[in-house]
Amino acid sequence: MEHTEKYEKYYVPAQSVWPIVGALALFLIAVGAGNYVVEVTRGESGFGGYVLATGLFILFVMVFGWFKDQIHESMSGMYSAQLGRSYRQGMAWFIFSEVMFFAGFFGALFYARVIAIPWLGGASNNAMTNEVLWPSFEAMWPLVSTPGGIQTTAMGWYGLPLANTIILLVSSVTLHFAHVGVEQNKRGQIKAWLGITILLGLVFLVLQGYEYYHAYTDLGLTLQSGIYGNTFFLLTGFHGMHVTLGTIILIVLFLRVFKGHFTPDNHFAFQAGSWYWHFVDVVWLMLFFFVYIL
């Protein structure tokens, strides 16, 4: 069969074992998590945790194996510009889907603040809601006293959160410097800036952990303390999970830099990792503004 010069470069991967392994991993994670959650809240013991852990482990193996294959393919130059574009676009759409995931929780936050709580306080067409059902409730945000009567304390924006904001912002800049390093093939510069970025990410996580500890022990701000605590913990929590994932990605990139990977014109993984990091950063800015300050 004739091969045109152009098309020879398009790479259709041969069969691969990783997708089915990945599907199996997600299956175990879903079954495990589904059982584990019930067991934990019921205080029972069961197999859920083990299944979940197995699933996560298999997922880890799958990611490792899959990426290894891909890195190999990429390093041996099988990829074309077209495939590179496919990866970049794929990553961009993936980040868009993540944006929409956060939008769901931001939506809950806005709805609670702008609609649910004022209505419980008697606004709009809900005068009777307040009068009959919650006569002693007054609308407020942060909701430090729920209609059901739970008291809590709001988390201020100065101090830790402000520090964390600065840390993340700086980390975005340092990562950019690392990226510039990749583009100019200055290995030392990549290593230094990437290393600093990773450190900043870790510091952020530690501080976030400390903030949670502070919320639980000193402020009485918990998952159970009403919608203020709910939106606070779910938004910052999912963000924190993304920072964790982002940090892991950066660490992997860091190790790959030491193995001599990434050239000025072949560094999709690096670019994807840095996009992801910037995205996590932007989400934090939104969070800082809407969850902490406003």
**Subset of 200-229 contacting another protein (CB under 8 A):** 223-229
Smallest separation, CB 18 to another protein (Å): 7
Applying CB under 8 A, the span of 139-147, 180-188, 194-202, 277-285 interacting with another protein comes to: 139-147
Q: Which is nearer to another protein, 217 or 265 (CB)?
A: 265
State the DSSP code for 37: H
Amino acid 128 reads M
The least distance separating another protein from the CB of residue 270, rounded to whole angstroms, comes to 14
Cα gap 141→162, rounded to integer Å: 20
Of the candidates 155, 133, 131, which has an alpha carbon nearest to the alpha carbon of residue 144? 155
DSSP summary character for residue 145? B
What mask, x for binding another protein by CB under 8 A, covers residues 37 to 76?
A: xx-xxx-----------------------x------x--x
Span interacting with another protein, options 140-148, 165-173, 188-196, 243-251, rule CB under 8 A = 140-148
Single out the residue of 60, 64, 100, 258 in contact with another protein (rule: CB under 8 A): 100
The one-letter amino acid code at 264 reads: P
User: Which residue in 45, 54, 103, 198 binds another protein (CB under 8 A)?
Assistant: 103
Residues 153-182 binding another protein (CB under 8 A) are: none
Stretch touching another protein by CB under 8 A, among 24-32, 188-196, 243-251, 281-289: 24-32
Of 226-285, binders to another protein (CB under 8 A) are 226-230, 234, 263, 265-266
Select the span of 111-119, 175-183, 187-195, 252-260 touching another protein (CB under 8 A): 111-119
CA-CA distances (angstroms) from residue 91 to 20, 56, 104, 193, 267?
21, 22, 20, 23, 13
Identify the three-state secondary structure at position 268.
helix
Q: Contact with another protein (CB under 8 A): which of 33, 53, 160, 163? A: 33
Q: How far is the CB of 36 from another protein (least distance, A)?
A: 8
| Nearest-angstrom CA–CA distance, 108 and 110 | 6
DSSP label at residue 149: -
Question: Which residues between 79 and 98 bind another protein (CB under 8 A)?
Answer: 79-87, 89-90, 93-94, 96-98
The helix or strand, by DSSP H or E, that contains position 183, with its residue range, turns out to be helix 160-183
**Of 101-109, 160-168, 180-188, 239-247, which segment contacts another protein by CB under 8 A?**
101-109
3-class secondary structure for 199-264?
HHHHHHHHHHHHHHHHHHHHHCCCCCCCHHHHHHHHHHHHHHHHHHHHHHHHHHHHHHHHCCCCEC
Of 29-37, 154-162, 209-217, 244-252: span binding another protein (CB under 8 A): 29-37
Number of Cβ within a 10 Å radius of residue 11: 13
Reading phi first (left if > 0) and then psi (alpha if -120 to 50, else beta), residue 139 is in: beta
Task: Select from 50, 107, 217, 285 the one that contacts another protein (CB under 8 A).
Answer: 107
Q: Does 187 bind another protein (CB under 8 A)?
A: no
